[in-house]
Amino acid sequence: MKFTIENEKIVGDLGFGLLPISPNETIGYRPYELFVSSLVGCSGTLLGNILKKKRVEYKNIDMEVSSVRNPDQANRIEKILITAYVQSNQSLSEQNAMKIADLVVRNCGMIQSVIDSIDVTFIVKTQTLHDDVR
């Protein structure tokens, strides 16, 4: 990876292409957005793989993130809650959803990299799809 500082932004030259980074969201992705995106990208991909291994067919997974930051400590991220909404014809029991969420947390490299300094919670919820009957 290579990064170049240009005026108000840093541009990363990465395998997929250029990535502009800036605290000014009109000229680049904010570092906070990239940080959260790395957690969601890793955990979401892993969740999809776990569901496939468990033979849980799903149409889509939507993920929402909320966080708590500490303005007294450089706006440090203290807590992150990631909620994954699995859209499927199969419903997961609360116990199975909790087991899958635990597997994600234990096996996601990005979450494991920050788990000792940030309180990360990962929740899996099923949104049951209903077939249209005509």
Q: Which residues of the chain have pLDDT under 50?
A: 132-134
Residue 133 confidence (pLDDT): 42
Predicted TM-score (pTM) of this structure: 0.89
**Domain spans, the chain:** 31-128
Indicate the fold that domain 31-128 takes in CATH: GMP Synthetase; Chain A, domain 3 (3.30.300)
Instruction: Give pLDDT tens digits for 90-127.
Output: 888 999 999 999 999 999 999 999 999 999 999 999 98
**Most distant CA pair in the chain: distance in Å?**
60
Residue 134, pLDDT score: 41
